[in-house]
Amino acid sequence: MEKYKIFIIEIAKEAGIIMNKHFKIGMIHIEKKDTSPVTEADLAINSLLIKRVKELFPKHSVLGEEESCMIEGSEYVWVCDPIDGTIPFSLGLPIATFSLALVHNGEVILGVVYDPFCDRLFYAEKGKGSYLNNKKIHVSDHPTLNKARIEFEMWNRSKYDLQPLINELKKFNPVLVRFASFANPSALVGAGEFTATIFPHTSVQDVAAIKIIVEEAGGKVTDLFGNEQRYDQPINGVLVSNGILHDQLVDLSKKFVIIQNNN
């Protein structure tokens, strides 16, 4: 496991250098088929990861946001979002992160989220806790939805419509924010700054690393309906929480999340 730990931290730092190199106002980006943007930095980081995995772990697969290299029968998959938060990144907002997880037979065993703008590296290994810049972190003990700090994502092409859930949550007086960068606030759930995050998409690349970072910090991560899921294939959204509020959030999600027909 040590060789994987060294690799995942080194590649995260390299990704951060690429992100900083390309980060500027007026950044060139193109629109993908799903209307989301992609930048030169996204493509460069994704390609770098595939190249390095082929060199060091040739039997491992890579499932990337922009490009994948899947090997039939591979037990290990590196699941990566080269830039989680490409929209704010492409608009000159420094809140995006690099996110990478090592998944073994569907289970996340290693994860990193790196914010190069604040030099914050979140790292977790199965059974060994969660860390921010080598300091152990833990989720908050906030006990109620009242004043809970919750980040959520919404997109008209998502499989799940969160708007009815958000409308219901407002009745409990939480602090609701939306960043269009899921990994950053979700990692901060692990550090106790946010109470929960909600993700309505099916893309596993955005959330695989979060699964282990938050749960090793004492929190809980499931699909939108409270179920465990594999992290090497499309997912049914994600609920991330400090654990204390998870059942309540799941109950609300089951009642108010709507499946859309445009995925």
Q: What is the pLDDT of residue 263?
A: 45
Q: To the nearest whole number, what is the mean pLDDT of the chain?
A: 96
Q: What is the pLDDT of residue 246?
A: 98
d(CA 13, CA 19): 10
Delineate the domains of the chain, giving CATH numbers in brackets. 2-136 (3.30.540.10), 149-259 (3.40.190.80)
Is the predicted pLDDT of residue 120 greater than 50, yes or no? Answer: yes
Nearest to 49, CA basis, from 122, 101, 108: 101
Task: Note the Cα 73 to chain centre separation in Å.
Answer: 25
Which residue, chain included where needed, has tokens 């950044």?
27
d(CA 131, CA 251): 30
Please write the tens of the pLDDT for every residue from 27-39: 888 877 777 889 9
Residue 110 near residue 8, CB atoms below 8 Å: yes
Is the predicted pLDDT of residue 22 greater than 50, yes or no? Answer: yes
Please write the tens of the pLDDT for every residue from 53-79: 999 999 999 999 999 999 999 999 999
Specify the 3-state DSSP secondary structure of 12: helix
d(CA 24, CA 15): 16
Residue 225 near residue 253, CB atoms below 8 Å: yes
Residue 150 near residue 192, CB atoms below 8 Å: no
Q: What is the pLDDT of residue 61?
A: 98
Q: What is the pLDDT of residue 262?
A: 59
| Of 36 and 221, more confident | 221
pTM of the model: 0.96
Please write the tens of the pLDDT for every residue from 123-170: 999 999 999 999 999 999 999 999 999 999 998 889 999 999 999 999
pLDDT (mean) for 175-181: 95
Is the predicted pLDDT of residue 183 greater than 90, yes or no? Answer: yes
Nearest to 170, CA basis, from 78, 89, 256: 256
